[in-house]
Amino acid sequence: MVIGFLFTALTLFLAAYLRISIASSLLVVDLGYELHQVFSLNQTTGLYNFSNIRYAAPPLGSLRFRAPLPPKVNRSEVQTGSVGMVSWRIWLARWSHSIQERNPNAALHDQRLGLIWGPSFIRSPHTKGFRDRPSLFQQAILQSPRLGAEVRHKEERTFRQYLKLLNVSSIEDARQISSEKLIAANAYQVSSSLYGTFTYGPVVDGIFVLDLPGKMLLLRGEFDHNVKVLNGHTMNKALMYTPPSSLQDSGLSSLVDGHFPGISESMKGVILNVYPPILDRNHGYSSWLERDSLALSDICFQCKSYDLNHAHKDNSYSCVFSIFPAMHWLDHPYTFYIKGEKPIAENPIFQVVNETVAYILQDYFTSFAKQASRLLHSGRHSRYTALRVGC
């Protein structure tokens, strides 16, 4: 038993020593404001992994709920990526009375700074012309783009509720609250959300989101027409967001009330008529659950995909993932599949069951990223149809 214990201890020591030795031999890059060492080397792909690179000052204290600032210079030691730099950002809704006091889409400001940071430090032919373009990117792969129903005054109510949970009366007071209390209040609001929703998300702010996407894309055409889009989703996109009440025939009525509070009875009737209570598959469903899931998918996902595809027209690709159960996110294990690598998640439902499909999907994405213009006019895939990936 003692020998076994010593053998185990020696094994753990050697494994730890080996990891330290490999890490210490990895290259270090000079970012100007800090020195950063490679976090790990993937032996399967031969790719270096840089983790937790700080590209902005931490959003603490007076910097909370505001656009991010550049990071401070720190060259006193080499950063190894061992300290987590993932920033939690609360999506606070608009405050109509004092919009200048905060940035309602603070997380989008974070992402914009990240997009600016990339071409500044990463040399790539795909970033050519970056600074001469109105957009921060030339192409976009969107997997399951979602935006919930826009409800008048909901943003203001959400913001007021958040201040009440913190027992403060202003955003300035909220900046003085500890991170633990801010996170707790945010978690409470999210956990209390309508089933399948999360309360927070992008809002119309006049900066990033000038208006509802449908109006901007289809009615007014206010977007960068040079950006090429690959828009993908799964077949049963909304199934995991469909509430338990959908097991009953009255489920759709309750779902509409929840997502569109204050909707008129006449408009509600129009929506219900689109999904008649006839479970014969002729309308795309054979159960109350499937009926409600289809309606929710249209409300949150399909209409947004329609807006994107029809607005971008010749600059748009589509992809539909249909491997059972084809729920939200289940295309990701196929997107990032590497033969021989540990799966993203251990649950069997998240495992890749068809390696060929993974390679086809990855080929589609990488081909789009490398030569979208050529593919859009090559005839490989019609711009009016979607590539259906499944088995």
What letter does residue 132 receive in the DSSP assignment? G
Spatial CA neighbour of 156 closest among 99, 112, 237, 78: 99
What contacts 46, CB < 8 A, 6 or more positions away? none
Question: Measured at the alpha carbon of residue 305, what is the angle toward residues 335 and 229, in degrees to the nearest 5?
Answer: 60
Alpha-carbon distance of 187 to 327, in angstroms, equals 25
Above 90 in pLDDT, residue 1?
no
Identity at 190, one-letter amino acid code: V
Alpha-carbon distance of 174 to 155, in angstroms, equals 17
More confident position, 377 or 220: 220
Name residue, tokens 């969107």.
142
Q: Which two tokens stand for residue 258?
A: 């929840």
CB 66, CB 106: distance < 8 Å: yes
Query: What is the per-residue pLDDT across 11-42, written as a single tens digit (0 to 9) for each?
Result: 333 344 444 445 456 789 999 999 999 988 88
What contacts 122, CB < 8 A, 6 or more positions away? none
Query: What is the per-residue pLDDT across 263-286, written as a single tens digit (0 to 9) for each?
Result: 999 999 999 999 999 999 999 999
Above 90 in pLDDT, residue 214?
no
Alpha-carbon distance of 269 to 297, in angstroms, equals 18
**DSSP per residue, 215-271:** IIIIII--S-TT-EEEEEEETBTTGGGS-GGGGSTTHHHHHHHHHSTT--HHHHHHH
Above 70 in pLDDT, residue 332?
yes
What letter does residue 351 receive in the DSSP assignment? S
Spatial CA neighbour of 39 closest among 54, 22, 57, 55: 22
Residue 137: what pLDDT? 83
Alpha-carbon distance of 238 to 289, in angstroms, equals 11
- Name the strand (E) or helix (H) holding 285: none
Alpha-carbon distance of 11 to 14, in angstroms, equals 5
Mean pLDDT of the chain, nearest integer: 81
Residue 127: what pLDDT? 43
Query: What is the per-residue pLDDT across 306-317, written as a single tens digit (0 to 9) for each?
Result: 888 888 877 788
Alpha-carbon distance of 67 to 201, in angstroms, equals 16
Above 70 in pLDDT, residue 384?
no
Alpha-carbon distance of 38 to 238, in angstroms, equals 39
Alpha-carbon distance of 370 to 139, in angstroms, equals 10
CB 285, CB 213: distance < 8 Å: no
**DSSP per residue, 95-121:** -TT-GGGS-TTHHHHHHHHHHHHHHHH
Average pLDDT (347-360) is 93
What contacts 185, CB < 8 A, 6 or more positions away? 162, 165, 166
